[in-house]
Chain A
Amino acid sequence: MRLVTAVVKPFKLDDVKTALEGIGVQGMTVSEVQGFGRQRGHTEVYRGAEYTVAFVPKVKVEVLVDDADATRVVDAVVAAASTGSIGDGKVWSTVVDDLVRVRTGERGADAL
Chain B
Amino acid sequence: MPDVDSGNTAFVLLCTALVLLMTPGLALFYAGMVRAKSSLAMLMQNFVCLAVVSVAWLALGYTLAFGEDAGAGLIGDLRFAGFASVDEGVPGLDLSIPPVLFATFQMLFAVLTVALLSGAIAERVRFGAFVAFAALWTVLVYAPLAHWVFAPSGWLAALGVLDFAGGLVVEVNAGAAALALALVAGRRLGWPGEAMPPHNLPLTMLGAGLLWFGWFGFNAGSALAANGLAAQALVNTHFAAVGGLIAWIGIERLRTGSATSLGAVSGGVAGLVAITPACGFLDTGPSLLLGLLAGGASFFAVQFKHRLGYDDSLDVVGVHFVGGVVGTLFLGLFASTAVNTVVASEGLLLGGGLTQLGRQTVGVLAATAFSFGVSYLLARGVDRVLPLRVTPDQERAGLDQVLHAEQAYDLGSVRTMGRL
How many residue pairs, one in A and one in B, have C-beta atoms under 8 Å apart? 27
The interface-forming segment of A47-55, A65-73, A77-85 is: A47-55
What separation, in Å, do the CA atoms of A50 and B303 have in the docked complex? 11
Contact of A47 among B195, B258, B315 (CB under 8 A): B315
What separation, in Å, do the CA atoms of A53 and B197 have in the docked complex? 10
The verdict on B263 contacting chain A, using a C-beta distance below 8 Å, is: yes
What separation, in Å, do the CA atoms of A47 and B303 have in the docked complex? 8
What separation, in Å, do the CA atoms of A83 and B256 have in the docked complex? 28
What separation, in Å, do the CA atoms of A52 and B197 have in the docked complex? 10
The verdict on A98 contacting chain B, using a C-beta distance below 8 Å, is: no
Nearest CB on A from B188, distance (A): 14
Given known A-B contacts A51-B195, A51-B197, A52-B195, A46 and B260 have beta carbons under 8 A apart: yes
Interface magnitude class on chain A: 10 to 19
A-facing mask of B105-138, CB < 8 A → 1, else 0? 0000000000000000000000000000000000
The verdict on B302 contacting chain A, using a C-beta distance below 8 Å, is: yes
Contacts of B198 in A (CB 8 A): 46
What separation, in Å, do the CA atoms of A82 and B26 have in the docked complex? 45
Contacts of A45 in B (CB 8 A): 252, 256, 258, 260
Interface residues of B in 250-287 (CB under 8 A from A): 252, 255-256, 258, 260, 262-263, 266
The verdict on B321 contacting chain A, using a C-beta distance below 8 Å, is: no
What separation, in Å, do the CA atoms of A51 and B303 have in the docked complex? 14
Cβ A49 vs Cβ B306 within 8 A: yes
Contacts of A50 in B (CB 8 A): 256
Cβ A48 vs Cβ B303 within 8 A: yes
What separation, in Å, do the CA atoms of A47 and B251 have in the docked complex? 11
The verdict on B299 contacting chain A, using a C-beta distance below 8 Å, is: yes
Contacts of A46 in B (CB 8 A): 197-198, 260, 262
The verdict on A44 contacting chain B, using a C-beta distance below 8 Å, is: yes
Interface residues of A in 28-76 (CB under 8 A from B): 44-53
B260 (CB) vs chain A CBs: closest residue: A45
Contact of B252 among A44, A48, A53 (CB under 8 A): A48
What separation, in Å, do the CA atoms of A47 and B266 have in the docked complex? 8
What separation, in Å, do the CA atoms of A46 and B260 have in the docked complex? 8
Nearest CB on B from A77, distance (A): 25
Nearest CB on B from A19, distance (A): 26
Contacts of B255 in A (CB 8 A): 48
Contacts of A52 in B (CB 8 A): 195
Cβ B197 vs Cβ A47 within 8 A: no
Give me 12 A-to-B residue pairs in the complex whose CB atoms sit less than 8 angstroms apart, sorted by A's number. A45-B256, A45-B258, A46-B197, A46-B262, A47-B315, A48-B252, A48-B299, A48-B303, A49-B303, A50-B256, A51-B197, A52-B195
- Chain A contact residues, CB within 8 Å of chain B: 44-53
- Nearest 5 A-B pairs (CB), nearest first? A51-B195, A47-B302, A45-B256, A51-B197, A46-B197
